Amino acid sequence: MSAAADEALLSLSTPAGLADPYPVYAKLREETPIFRSEVFGGWVLSRFADCQRVLADGETFLVLDAQWRDRYRPGWRDNPAMVLLAGLLPWKNPPEHTRERRLLMRDFTVRRVQGLEPAVRRAVDRVLDRFADATVDGTAAEFVGTVLYPLGMAVIGDLVGVPEADHDRLRRVTDLIGKQVDPAMSADLRAEVDAAAVEFRAYFADLIARRRAEPRDDLTSALLARPTADVELMSEEDVLNSLVVLFGGGYETTAGALGNGIFALLTHPEQFALLAGDPGLATGAAEEMLRWDGAAQMSQRAAVRPAVLDEVEIPAGDAIVVLTGAANRDPARFADPDRFDITRDTGRGLFFGHGLHLCLGAALARLEMTVLLEQLGKRFPALRIGGEVQRRQNPALRGMAALPLTR
């Protein structure tokens, strides 16, 4: 049975799987909701309850940190991309995770995010003005490159202090690093991914050096600021890792979720008509986008002691892949889960994780998505798909490579 389930997992990288992985997820949920995968080298979960339990239990199930990899994945340090990721907050466990998250939250506060709303609204206006200009004669414009990535880069770039001139370079690098989680990665692609990780780290090391010499009104400078005597100082490595995770995660998954979600809106025109008629539905629309076809489709944990999930014994040390994309379409959690409904009010999915490792940037992502959707419905009520749509070739980080739209 697990061989057939592994074959289904591999099909996620095929054109059909990239276009629509949800029939594969449904098959896994129904036939093998918990199984030992040779493809992933660990257990794979696809039901909401199982996924939520693993993400919530931060004592039994920990992230695959450097110590775990040293023991169970020897040789992983030969890949700079994996070394980069292992140094970041989402891949650390307590007490390191607790300390670093506390230090980062000292400056990356809810108040700071709320204070970004005027800047987010200005950024949305700029990118939508650009889209309006590009489509004024009725032709289509590629929405991902014209709106989504420039918006995400502008918001997180302003927050962190990354100049606009560097946005295209960093988008290329982060796109490559995002392929790290693809189980079907070729050796040639692995080399590109590792080179991108080295470049990404070097960029932020240089940014830190520049902000030490000349502080500005941005988060990088705030993290580097000398604290009072009773506040713990962030090390340079702490600051670098914080910037890498905030920037890399601060636009990529948001742009991916927006691209997938806007495609869903326009292929469900009755839903887009609802949004255009009532911009107040934008918050709910954003949440349904995250549930229905989010960008991040999976995460990983490891059992630190023997555990039992629905009568299946998980040995200590075994890795676990949590298929959040599958969990968010589980009919045991969401009624009629394959129906896209922006008025749905049945709670949130697992897009931003759950428990100890709940995404730090969730509030900023929701703000960005909500403002864009408000304005999109107001300004372009006749918006429609105007050409061939192309998906990114990454089953673990779904998104649009090309989304031509016209108005």
Q: Render pLDDT for 343-370 as a digit per residue (tens, 0 to 9).
A: 998 888 999 999 888 888 899 999 999 9
**Which option is the CATH number for 2-406: 3.40.50.300, 1.10.630.10, 1.10.150.120, 3.40.50.10470?**
1.10.630.10
pTM of the model: 0.91
C-beta of residue 323 within 8 angstroms of C-beta of residue 44: yes
How, if at all, do strands 319-322 and 42-45 pair? parallel
DSSP 106: T
Q: Specify burial of residue 252 (Cβ count, 10 A radius: 0-12, 13-18, 19+).
A: buried
C-beta of residue 43 within 8 angstroms of C-beta of residue 50: no
Q: Which tokens go with 217?
A: 């009104």
C-beta of residue 29 within 8 angstroms of C-beta of residue 46: yes
Rounded CA gap, 53 and 74, in Å? 28
Q: Specify burial of residue 219 (Cβ count, 10 A radius: 0-12, 13-18, 19+).
A: buried
Instruction: Encode the chain (407 residues) as per-residue pLDDT tens digits.
Output: 688 999 999 999 999 999 999 999 999 999 999 999 998 899 999 999 999 999 999 999 999 999 999 999 899 999 899 898 888 898 999 999 998 898 888 888 878 888 889 999 999 999 999 999 999 999 999 999 999 999 999 999 989 999 989 998 998 998 888 777 666 678 888 899 999 999 999 999 999 999 999 999 888 998 888 665 556 678 888 899 999 988 887 788 899 999 999 999 999 999 999 999 999 999 999 999 999 999 999 999 999 999 999 999 999 999 999 999 999 999 999 999 999 999 998 888 999 999 888 888 899 999 999 999 999 999 999 999 999 999 988 888 899 999 999 99
Q: Cα angle vertex 180, ends 176, 184, to 5°?
A: 105
> Which residues, at least 6 apart from 19, have a Cβ–Cβ distance to it below 8 Å?
391
Please name every residue paired with 301 in a beta bridge, in sequence order, or none if there are none.
Answer: 320
Q: How far is CA 319 from CA 31, 40, 299, 309, 351, in A?
A: 21, 9, 11, 14, 20
Please name every residue paired with 42 in a beta bridge, in sequence order, or none if there are none.
Answer: 37
C-beta of residue 265 within 8 angstroms of C-beta of residue 226: no
C-beta of residue 47 within 8 angstroms of C-beta of residue 327: yes
Main-chain dihedrals φ then ψ at residue 397, nearest 5 degrees: -130, 85
Segment (H or E) for 370: helix 362-379
Please name every residue paired with 313 in a beta bridge, in sequence order, or none if there are none.
Answer: 308
Q: Render pLDDT for 256-278 as a digit per residue (tens, 0 to 9).
A: 999 999 999 999 999 999 999 99
Rounded CA gap, 347 and 349, in Å? 7
